Every structure is written in C-alpha cells, then in structure tokens.
Amino acid sequence: MANIRAFKAIRPVRSKVHLVATRPYYSYKKNVLKAKLEDNPYTFLHIINPEFGARVKTKPNSKERFLQVKQKFDRFKQEGILITDQQDHLYIYRQSKAEFVVAGFFAGVSVDDYLNGQIKIHEQTLTAREDIFTTYLDVVGFNAEPVLLTYEGQDPIRAVLKKNLETRAEYEFTTTDGITHELWLLNEADSQTVCNCFLQVEALYIADGHHRSASSARYTQQLRAQNTVYPKAANYFLGYLVEETDVQIAAFHRILKSTNGLDISGLIAILKNEGQVEKLAGPSLPAQKHDIHLYMDQIWLKFRPNLNFINDQDPIETLDSFILSDLILKPIFGILDLKTSDQIEFIPGNEPLQKIIDAVDSEKFELAFLLHPASISDVKKIADAGLNMPPKSTWVEPKLRSGLTIYSLEE
C-alpha cells in the first residue's frame, strides 16, 4: 500500500517557468553555473546559490548558508516569480526527448512508508550527507528536487494519465538540452482517484534520490521526537512517481588510469582463465547481460565470464558491475573500494561512446570497461532482498528539474 497526497505546489509563474526550472546545481560545470547565474536573474540556481557575487560569504552547508537560501526563496515568492496554488493537486509531468517520453505524477510521498519498508531502497546512504540534508530541510522548509520512484502500473492510473495528457498543459517549454517539459494540474476528483489507486500498489521503489528520501525521513523523525505539533506536510516528501516500464536504466562504464604495466597480451592471457575473450571489429556496447567490452591500445575486446563464476542465488552477484569488480578490478588491478580509489572514473551510459575512446586515446586513461545495463527487474530483486547495489551500477532517467513544483514542509 502506497500512501501519497495532493499538495499546494509553489511553482514558477507561467511566463517565467522556462527561466526558473533548472537542472540540479551539482550537474553544472563551474563555468557554466557562473554564466547561468550571471545571465538569468530568475533561475532557481539563485536560490540554491544565494550569495553569488557577494564578497563575504557564509560557510558552505552551514545553517547560516541555508538561512540565506530560505531568504532568497521567500524573495522569489514576494516578487511573484514563484506562486502558490490555492488548492491541493497532484501534478502530471511529462518529459520528452527523441524516442524517450515519460509521464508520471508529482505527489507527496509518505515518510512512514519509507520507514516501514513499503518504499524499497537499493543504495546505501552516507550519514554525513544525511546530516547536511536534514539540517537543510529544517532551515529552508521545502523540497525542490523530487525523489524518482517507480511502481507497478494499473489501468485506472493509466486512464487518468491518458485523459489529462490529451488536454492543454499548464506549462510547456523546451530546454537547451532538447528536452520538452509539460505540466498538468489534476482536478480534485482525478487527484483523489490516483491517491486511492496507489493504496492498491504493493510497493514503491526508489530509482534516484536515496539521500533525499533518507534525509526527509530523519527530518520527520526529529520533529516527532520533539513531541510538539508540526505541519502535516512534514510527514511526506516530494516524489515523482513513474510506472516502472517507463524508466530507462543505462550502465555506468569504468575507465582505468593505469594498468600497472600490464599490456594487452598479458590482460588477455589472464582473462582467458576466467572466461571467453574475443576481438571485436570496432567500437560497440555489450549486447547482452554478462558481456563486458574492453578498450585498450586501440583494440576492442569482448569478455564473457564462465558461468561457474556467477552466483545466481545472490541478486547482487549477478550484476555485471559486481562481476567486473570481483573478477577483474580487485584481483588484477587491486581496486578494492570503488568509492575511495583514485585510479578509476565512471562514465554514465548516456554519454557518447566516443567520449570513452577519446579518454583512452589521449593516454589520460589506459583501459576502459563497458557494461550492459542492469534491468528494473534486477533493481527490484535487490531492493526486495534488502541489499545494496555496488557504487555506480545504474544511470537512471528521467533526470528531473529543480524548482518546477516545490513542496512546502510547512503547509
């Protein structure tokens, strides 16, 4: 049973939505971020970076900095850049680019469902980051970047989506990355129908946003521990709910800075003890699970491990990211911890293959490993078992904009 709620979104005025909504600030390179802040006074980035251009600045991730965020947010509301809906709604958001089109619901998602395991996780969170985000929520009092969650689809939910998607959107704009964004406000009846339907959904699965959801849960627990009355909205956090078949999962490829003197012939000889190795005619991505492609010295190889090295009883050990670490990165190159090693970098699967080729050909890196993506079924099995995926196992889309529908925790 999934408990969701309609809410009164704080959102950009229609004439400025294309200027306000933004990718998360950490996704921009420093020079691009600076240019956007200089050229666009309406971007939500100004709220997240409230001291841009100031000579004296507060300490990053401090309560003083977060207070500046809150004050900038309030100023955007006072100036009419952001408005607050007068009625509760669920919101349909559709994102379209080329062949990839996904539509789902912005909603308040239950913290209690997270705490009791109705919302399934597959990634371990870092306590230090949770501390920062929890303090942030306590000071600013809003969620601006939704957690991406998937669910098993139902015909009544699809019917509400279809009916509303045939009407004119409240927002429609296209960003410079070629993605078209559309938003609809559901009426009270449709919002209630969808909320009721989600009560029949067995579980929600976090696809992206584990730290945001964990921090929201900690924030609510802190409020409850104070034994004082607090806003109902704080029992929920902002989520974007998408049918599981509509989420796209790409792999994270690995590029290695050094082979420690091991040449291509030596590597092939070692790999032949672990599985099948064959030369490829040219650049290509793995076509099936357990195929791992390698690029070194302008040579492309396909490695497929012997099946006896794969433990089918453990959903983690069937992941290609685990197999690569277990059979190659640890024993051959001594990379024991992907989180701390400075010898490896990760390239998301949505990047052009040429980026990997260029990285190796430039000699900044010596070896590349290309993986086949995990499936949503893999993710669900791991989450259902209460396990955590290895670092950088999945690149999930859609990637969402910040500041499109802001969820107030003070409602």
Q: Residue 185 forms beta bridges with which residues? A: 91
Residues counted in the chain: 411
- Closest C-alpha to 9, from 85, 76, 86, 109: 85
Tell which CATH classification among 3.90.79.10, 3.90.1530.10, 3.40.50.150, 1.10.1740.10 matches the domain 4-248+398-408. 3.90.1530.10
- Closest C-alpha to 178, from 98, 248, 246: 98
Contact present, 2 and 204 (Cβ < 8 Å): yes
Residues 296-312 have pLDDT tens digits of 999 999 999 998 888 98
CATH class of the region 252-372:
alpha beta
- Determine the 3-state secondary structure of 303 from DSSP: strand
Give CA 286 to chain center in angstroms: 23
Give CA 400 to chain center in angstroms: 8
- Residue 72: predicted pLDDT: 97
Tell me what the pLDDT averaged over the chain comes to.
96
Domain ranges in the chain are 4-248+398-408, 252-372
Backbone angles phi, psi at 44, to 5 degrees: -60, -20
Q: What is the pTM of this model?
A: 0.94
List the alpha helices (DSSP H) in 141-290: 155-165, 188-198, 210-225, 264-271
CA distances from 218 to 55, 136, 213, 221 (A): 34, 12, 9, 5
- Closest C-alpha to 384, from 154, 121, 140: 121
What does DSSP say about strands 248-250 and 395-397: parallel, antiparallel, or unpaired? antiparallel
CA distances from 120 to 7, 203, 274 (A): 23, 7, 34
Half-sphere exposure of 317 toward its Cβ, with a 13 Å CA cutoff? 11
Contact present, 309 and 280 (Cβ < 8 Å): no
Give ∠ CA 383-108-151 in degrees, rounded to 5.
Answer: 35
Per-residue pLDDT tens, the chain, 411 aa: give them: 999 999 999 999 999 999 999 998 888 999 999 999 999 999 999 999 999 988 889 999 999 999 999 999 999 999 999 999 999 999 999 999 988 999 999 999 999 999 999 999 999 888 889 999 999 999 999 999 999 999 999 999 999 999 999 999 999 999 999 999 999 999 999 999 999 999 999 999 999 999 999 999 999 999 999 999 999 999 999 999 999 999 999 999 999 999 999 999 999 999 999 999 999 999 999 999 999 999 999 999 999 999 888 898 999 999 999 999 999 999 999 999 998 899 999 999 999 999 999 999 999 999 999 999 999 999 999 999 999 999 899 999 999 999 999 999 998
